[in-house]
Structure 1
Amino acid sequence: MPAELLIIVPSRGRPHNIAALHDAWLRAETTDAAALLVAADDDDPTLPDYQQVCGDRGIELAVGPRLRLAGTLNQHAISRAPHHFAIGFFGDDHRARSSHWDARYLEALHDLGTGMVYGDDGYMGERLPTEIAMTSDIITTLGYMAPPGPIHLWIDNCWYDLGHAIERIRYLPDVLIEHMHPIAGKSQDDAGYLEVNHPDAAERDRLAYAHWLETGFDADVAKLKALL
């Protein structure tokens, strides 16, 4: 029987991060109600290492063309949504620190019925869901998990806006899913971080987010309110 909650982790060039994420996952006593799906690119030079790490640890690995964060997340979220009560996203630099965090997430989502939940990432806190879980009916209703436009940045702003617009987003301050990001001083920059945080890339995603707010947000909110 499929897990109630599927966490999708798109990753490139960081197989060591998957090992660290999974170590934290186990230390946090994550239950069988949650499953992990790592999504890797078929042109990633480190793909054999992903296959080794995931094979050794029994982690599901999906390999496909490089679609960047939003594209990869949507590909797997849309196809898997019918099979799970909820779909979540972790970056490969997120680490579950709170015991049974998944049970807390599912408790909140079942209470909401339809909605989103996120915890404290140790940096942005309530201000932004840098990781998230949402009921699958949101994804099937909208036809996406990550709104069209942004490639990497500003996607979490979209989730925050949608969740608050329908009044179905819940922040759990006592559940720590730590974001080991360079901007928080918790890791070193690498090629992946430099690519997505380049000023040109950041501005492109900011403009794409603004365009979605102007042209797509109201219609998407209306679809979700009709679902409710």
Structure 2
Amino acid sequence: MVVPSRGRPENAERLAQAFIDTQTEADLYFIIDNDDPKWNEYAKNENIKCLPADNKTGGCAASLNTGAIYLLDFTQFPLYDYFVFLGDDHLPRTQNWDKAFIQALGINTGIVYGNDLLQGENLPTAFGMSRDLVTQLQGMTFPGCIHLFFDNFVKQLGIDLNYLKYLPDVIIEHLHPVAGKAEMDEGYARVNQPKWYEEDLLTL
């Protein structure tokens, strides 16, 4: 599980606890910007594995791709057959949801996603991906992405591959301000500037 995060160690702690509560067996890695002033707050939690990212973009896509590339290195990490992206504002609610993702993907090249109670089937705001795709992409989203539209990219990729699986009964709740489930903090305000929509759309 690859989770880019910046300035939200409390979200990381909440997500780590959700893994325990849902009996999730997958390894959980938080990708933290080198210059995050709250780095030490992440690192002091024994339930949190942290990997660094030299990310100056302000968005999470570069950190996501950095983390995925780290974890492809089977000389340093286990040989993972499946990769999952979660935001630090996602919260799994379904028991053994990671096993449901694995079962849905099987040996196929493709994408799987659950119900975030916000976008639902419309967009994979959190998603699983087969290892071969991560290898080909050298990450989990498109090159040049800063923060936005990579869920659109991933959905279209799954459609193009003819292997996009939506699991409506697997709940991975998106605790986002749009849903009224989080405060509009500095991070949300930063990545939702109009210029970012324009820049990411141009690179998509």
Q: As a proportion of its length, which structure holds more helix?
A: 1
1:20 aligns to what?
Answer: 14
Question: The residue matched to 2:11 in structure 1 has which SS?
Answer: helix
How do 1:21-170 residues align onto structure 2 when only pairs under 5 Å count?
21-31=15-25, 34-53=26-45, 56-57=46-47, 59-67=48-56, 68-81=59-72, 83-110=79-106, 113-170=108-165
In the aligned structure 2, how far is the partner of 1:39 from the partner of 1:180?
19
Question: The residue matched to 2:162 in structure 1 has which SS?
Answer: coil
Contact 2:111–2:129 under 8 Å retained in 1? yes
Deviations 1:153-201 (CA, angstroms, capped at 9, x unpaired): 1000000001001111100000000000001111001110000001111
Instruction: After TM superposition, give the deviation of residue 136 of structure 1 in Å.
Output: 0.6
How do 1:212-223 residues align onto structure 2 when only pairs under 5 Å count?
none
Instruction: After TM superposition, give the deviation of residue 30 of structure 1 in Å.
Output: 1.0
Deviations 1:125-178 (CA, angstroms, capped at 9, x unpaired): 000000011011011123332101221010000000010011111000000000
Contact 2:53–2:66 under 8 Å retained in 1? no
RMSD value over aligned CA atoms? 1.3
Aligned letter for 1:66? N
* TM-score after normalising by structure 2: 0.92
Aligned letter for 1:70? A
CA distance 1:170–1:207, change in 2 (3 Å):
same
1:224 aligns to what?
Answer: none
Contact 2:117–2:173 under 8 Å retained in 1? yes
In the aligned structure 2, how far is the partner of 1:12 from the partner of 1:208?
23
Deviations 1:63-110 (CA, angstroms, capped at 9, x unpaired): 232254121111221232352101110000000000000010011111
Aligned letter for 2:104? A
5+ residue gaps, structure 2, are: none
In the aligned structure 2, how far is the partner of 1:139 from the partner of 1:66?
19
Contact 2:109–2:161 under 8 Å retained in 1? no
* TM-score after normalising by structure 1: 0.83
Please identify the structure whose Cα radius of gyration is greater.
Answer: 1
1:223 aligns to what?
Answer: none
Which runs of structure 1 show a deviation greater than 3 angstroms over 4 or more consecutive aligned residues? none
Question: The residue matched to 1:147 in structure 2 has which SS?
Answer: coil
Identical counterparts, % of pairs: 41
5+ residue gaps, structure 1, are: 1-6, 210-228
Alignment partner of 1:182 is 2:177: yes
Q: How many residues align?
A: 197
Instruction: After TM superposition, give the deviation of residue 42 of structure 1 in Å.
Output: 1.5
In the aligned structure 1, how far is the partner of 2:88 from the partner of 2:13?
9
